[in-house]
């Protein structure tokens, strides 16, 4: 068993998850990098972090839509170093689906990844987190409160995750703290092209700080809640440049 604290971060092979892994690693934590299909990116990140500090990062593959793989992920994360001090539910699915066109498969994919998986992964990690007095951080979204058009399933899943965050904060105290981070415009969704530039500019026009955020804004907030906030639980911090004031 390591003396370093250990954090499991879902969807940690790229974007915000990868930056969070790097920031937590820089704070002295060992990191379990979960990925679904980005094996090369996950391994490259682990190799880089292990180059900085040997035996401090590992990767685990799992499809979070499959319950048995969620349970296996928890077991692998705990077994990696014999302890678990933090869980960051970062992985999520985001795509539009107008209500008239949404299917049961859409429901399964979005609710499964964004709400069901965090619940059952957290449940499976509870014994280890209780033993260390650990913390859970859920990545929410400002659209959980101010819905985005034609994203009813996504917005509902994130609203459910926000409610779960507050419910867990009551139910799991005092052993485990539970908080959320709700990003605004940090990184644009992958695949957006020129057709979306007008939409992006309209978002920035309604953001008081008049710019997108930086992945470090999210990773730093997660690190603060995980490492430096022993008396904070049940809170969801909007990291959005003030955008939620104008929605």
Which residues sit opposite 237 in a β-bridge?
A: 181
Q: Which of 35, 95, 143, 154 is catalytic?
A: 154
Active site residue 154: yes
Cβ proximity of 200 and 188 under 8 Å = yes
Q: At what angle do helices 152-171 and 104-111 cross, to 10 degrees?
A: 40
CA distance 141 to 159: 8
Q: How many CA atoms lie within 13 A of 247 on its CB side?
A: 20
The DSSP element (H or E) to which 8 belongs, if any, is: strand 6-9
CA distance 81 to 59: 12
Q: Read off φ and ψ for residue 40, nearest 5 degrees.
A: -65, -40
Helix (H, G, I), strand (E, B) or coil at 91: coil
Please list the active-site residues: 154
């Amino acid at each position: 068993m390591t003396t370093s604290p250990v954090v499991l971060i879902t969807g940690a092979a790229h974007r915000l998850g990868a930056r969070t892994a790097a920031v937590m690693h820089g704070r002295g934590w060992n990191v379990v990098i979960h990925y679904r299909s980005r094996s090369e990116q996950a391994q490259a990140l682990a190799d880089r972090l292990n180059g900085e500090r040997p035996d401090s990062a590992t990767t685990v593959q799992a499809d979070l839509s499959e319950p048995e793989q969620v349970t296996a992920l928890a077991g692998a994360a705990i077994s990696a170093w014999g302890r678990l001090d933090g869980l960051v539910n970062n992985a999520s699915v985001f795509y539009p689906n107008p209500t008239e066109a949404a299917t049961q498969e859409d429901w399964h994919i979005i609710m499964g990844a964004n709400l069901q998986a965090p619940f059952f992964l957290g449940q499976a990690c509870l014994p280890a987190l209780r033993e260390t007095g650990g913390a859970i951080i859920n990545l929410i979204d400002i659209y959980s409160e101010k819905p985005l058009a034609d994203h009813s399933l996504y917005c509902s899943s994130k609203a459910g995750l926000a409610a779960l965050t507050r419910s867990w904060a009551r139910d799991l105290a005092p052993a485990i703290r539970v908080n959320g981070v709700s990003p605004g415009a940090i990184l644009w969704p992958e695949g957006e092209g020129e057709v979306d530039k007008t939409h992006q500019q309209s978002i920035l026009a309604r953001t008081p700080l008049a710019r997108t955020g930086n992945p470090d804004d999210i990773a730093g907030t997660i690190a603060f809640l995980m490492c430096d906030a022993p008396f904070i639980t049940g809170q969801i911090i909007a990291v959005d440049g003030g955008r939620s004031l104008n929605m």
